[in-house]
Structure 1
Amino acid sequence: MSNNPKPVLKPADPHFSCGPVKKYPGWTFDALAQAALSRTHRSATAVARIREAMDRTHALLGLPDDYRVGIVGGSDTGAMEAAMWSLLGPRGVDAFGWDVFGNKWVEDTRHQLKLNDLRTFQASAGQLPDVSQYTGDRDVVFTYNGTGAGVCVPDLDWIPADRAGLSLCDATSAAFAVDIDWSKIDVLTFSWQKCMGGEAQHGILIMSPRAIERLNTHTPSWPVPSVLSLHKKGKANMGLYEGSTINTISLMCVEDYIAALKWASKAGGLPAMIDRTEANFAELDRWVQTCDWLDYLCEIPRHRSHTSVTLKFTEARVAAMDVDTQWALSKKMLELLERENAALDPNMHRDAVPGIRIWCGPTMERDDLAALGPWLDWAYREALDALA
């Protein structure tokens, strides 16, 4: 019989995954009732729903009037790679990577696009490279918030407002959770499966007038797959920002995203989404500060993500274990938490370090995060006993 008593209070909702994340409070399948199912995505009804998703995104994020919103396939990965494949080439590029996906963009620039004038800046898990090395006469590729590493740029002051190059930002775990300075952004991509709790497989592409102008004046020297091409007949494909899509998209997923955007607007808009995220992180942080076996992977508080919170094992007896044993400990904890329906999927990315990763974005509830800590303590002790 276990000597580790279970906590009494469970989270009301056990979903703590970092993607796809928890649905917004009050979500039901009724949210999909107006989906244009069994219709072509080119029908007037379907295009109207796609346009509504774009328009609500534009309004909720507070985009400048001349910025454009499009929907592409392949989640944030598809949106980011479409931007890189279609836009890069005319100028030198600075690529920054500090987590799984940011490092992927670095590898894409180095080994797939094989850019000649390329500077890369990478840091190990939990650290942020020196972004001040960026020079505004070049293009820059970076991740706003590293979902896998729990590291977020604290601001965009390092990007000149009067830059000559374009800034391409993967903001999939930051959009709707941080206040973005749009004067520093030319291209921004995200997946609505993150902060809005939508379903997977679709990416949002936000383009500034400078990015559109690049499309109209630059033709890539490399072959671009049709699903990644933002061009049409040698110019910017403006239909993308008017309700057309490169390929067929799920109108059910579009409807789900519209419902999330409506919830966010009714809840108080972008300021409320940011406030909810900060309150959620503060609640989890209170527990982390008292925990004697877990701590932030990112050691600099100012660089810590407040959405995808990554925590590493720190107790001496566990830190001395080999990596495979630490992963086994983490896996056992997840099994115990799921068995009790106390926490589902608070797992680290498979290419990160062993530990626990917890989503604190705007669809989460602070009370659930308050109830989570004692269950993590219990699962840790139980998993250690099981592996002994």
Structure 2
Amino acid sequence: MTTPAVRPANPCFSSGPCAKRPGWNLSELNDAFLGRSHRAKTGKAKLKEVIDRSRALLRMPADWRLAVVPASDTGAVEMALWSLLGPRGVDVLSWENFGETWEADILKQLRLTDVRTFRAPYGSLPDLTQVDCDRDLVFTWNGTTSGVCLPDADWIRPDRAGLAICDATSAAYAMELPWDRLDVVTWSWQKALGGEAAHGMLAISPRAARRLEQHKPAWPMPKLFRLTSGGKVNEGIFQGETINTPSMLCVEDAIDSLKWAERAGGLDGLVARSKANFAALAAWVERTPWIDFLARDPASRSWTSVCLAIVDPWFAAQPDAAQQAVVKDLARRLEQAGVAYDIAGHRAAPAGLRIWCGATVETADVEALCPWLDWAWASLPRAAAA
């Protein structure tokens, strides 16, 4: 196949950490508050700026609390699980790697016994009609490793007695979140904002705050997870007084990303950019016989972390190990050509490709990438791989 003439201007299509926002460079961090305590007035003000800009951008209800927390989205989810679970039975939804992780933590680490799990294979959603909203719910909104997202939250009752705990890390800033159907929402900066790693965001509703004050967990609580003091919500955490020392370089980068998001049209603009990227990739999938979406139902296909299955009969006939080797070879050829980095599917997912289409990616780069995907596929030594 002829080598494509047009190359993506930015070959970063990783699903985390994700592409930096268009036009980003290191000089954007010149105003970072370095060499000083993050608890100094300016340090706290910058952390509070991240909180305030995030609240406004995501259209979070005024009575919700939002905090910067350690250990990325993983830390934020763990804080919620360890702090809030216990008083009620728990329904866990699992259809990809991260849902499986939260299920394992609830069963094997917290060792809760009244737990129901609703699983689905990669590419599908569990049966949401089986969920009991009078129990606590734990789920991802967007399956980063499967390319499957929830189409809506209609299955969560507005008059629920349990808490709805939602890992939204590859949905926040790219999808509209139904705050009235959720009680805890977590995400990280390095997904849809293209921010730097190690910091998470934890948002809690008034119902979740009441649970924090009324429930004392049966297990020892690590310092990093403690959201209360003297039986009351530690309000300082939600005003920029982080539990541990944050990177003020990362904080500055988050502020820059949030300002860019505001200039890009706010949440509506970010959603539109991501959907345009997905549309460009979907048009290529539609006309390409060797590829298809891993997500079977169009209504639940993610438009951020887009997972693709290779459906060519030659590939399907290979054993799993050979399929993984083919995908690695495909990704290696694209990386060596300098046109796409880190697009092999997650190690726990079926062998395939995963292409980030969040708002920090330019649609022209997605369009330029598609012919290179065909080029890489056509260049594979299929006989040797077989």
TM class, shorter-length: over 0.9
Letter in 2 for 1:26: G
Aligned: 1:314 with 2:311: yes
Residue aligned with 1:19, SS: coil
Q: Quote the residue 2:197 is aligned against.
A: 200
Displacement after TM superposition at 1:231 (Å) = 2.2
Letter in 2 for 1:294: I
Measure the CA separation in 1 of the matches of 2:34 and 2:195: 17
Q: Quote the residue 1:228 is aligned against.
A: 225
Q: Quote the residue 1:186 is aligned against.
A: 183
Aligned: 1:305 with 2:302: yes
Residue aligned with 2:66, SS: strand
Gaps of 5+ in 2: none
Measure the CA separation in 1 of the matches of 2:249 and 2:24: 14
Measure the CA separation in 2 of the matches of 1:296 and 1:28: 34
Displacement after TM superposition at 1:120 (Å) = 0.9
Displacement after TM superposition at 1:133 (Å) = 1.5
Letter in 2 for 1:178: M
Q: Quote the residue 2:239 is aligned against.
A: 242
Displacement after TM superposition at 1:287 (Å) = 0.1
Q: Quote the residue 2:25 is aligned against.
A: 28
Letter in 1 for 2:240: G
Moved more, 110-119 or 314-323: 110-119
| Paired residues of 1:168 and 1:185 also in contact (CA < 8 A) | yes
Measure the CA separation in 1 of the matches of 2:156 and 2:37: 42
Measure the CA separation in 1 of the matches of 2:133 and 2:341: 43
Displacement after TM superposition at 1:12 (Å) = 1.1
Moved more, 227-236 or 345-354: 227-236
Name the TM-score, length of structure 2 as normaliser: 0.98
- Between the two proteins, what is the percent identity of the paired residues? 50
Q: Quote the residue 1:339 is aligned against.
A: 336
Letter in 1 for 2:350: V
Q: 2:385 pairs with 381, 384, 387, which one?
A: 387
Measure the CA separation in 2 of the matches of 1:103 and 1:327: 21
Cα deviations across residues 101-144 of structure 1 (Å, max 9, x unaligned)?
01111111111111122111111111100122122211100000
Q: 2:253 pairs with 251, 256, 262, which one?
A: 256
Measure the CA separation in 1 of the matches of 2:129 and 2:244: 38
Distance 1:191 1:248, change over 3 A: same
Displacement after TM superposition at 1:328 (Å) = 0.9
Letter in 2 for 1:216: E
Aligned: 1:38 with 2:35: yes
Task: Map 1:366-377 to 2 at 5 A.
Answer: 366-377=363-374
Displacement after TM superposition at 1:383 (Å) = 2.4
| Paired residues of 1:312 and 1:354 also in contact (CA < 8 A) | yes
Residue aligned with 1:102, SS: helix
Cα deviations across residues 179-202 of structure 1 (Å, max 9, x unaligned)?
111100110000110000001111
Displacement after TM superposition at 1:380 (Å) = 1.3
| Paired residues of 1:86 and 1:231 also in contact (CA < 8 A) | no
Cα root mean square deviation, aligned? 1.1
Residue aligned with 1:306, SS: coil
Displacement after TM superposition at 1:229 (Å) = 2.2
Displacement after TM superposition at 1:284 (Å) = 0.5
Displacement after TM superposition at 1:79 (Å) = 0.2
The count of residues paired between Structure 1 and Structure 2 equals 385
Measure the CA separation in 2 of the matches of 1:131 and 1:244: 38
Cα deviations across residues 223-264 of structure 1 (Å, max 9, x unaligned)?
121112222233322111011111111110011011000000
Measure the CA separation in 2 of the matches of 1:383 and 1:248: 47
Measure the CA separation in 2 of the matches of 1:105 and 1:77: 9
Measure the CA separation in 1 of the matches of 2:48 and 2:129: 38
Aligned: 1:136 with 2:133: yes
Q: Quote the residue 1:365 is aligned against.
A: 362
| Paired residues of 1:329 and 1:384 also in contact (CA < 8 A) | no
Q: After TM superposition, what 4+ stretches of structure 1 lie above 3 angstroms from structure 2?
A: 384-388
Measure the CA separation in 2 of the matches of 1:334 and 1:382: 12
Q: Quote the residue 2:56 is aligned against.
A: 59
Q: Quote the residue 2:209 is aligned against.
A: 212
Residue aligned with 2:57, SS: helix
Gaps of 5+ in 1: none
Cα deviations across residues 116-175 of structure 1 (Å, max 9, x unaligned)?
221111111111001221222111000000000111010000001111111100000000
Q: Quote the residue 1:121 is aligned against.
A: 118
Residue aligned with 2:154, SS: coil
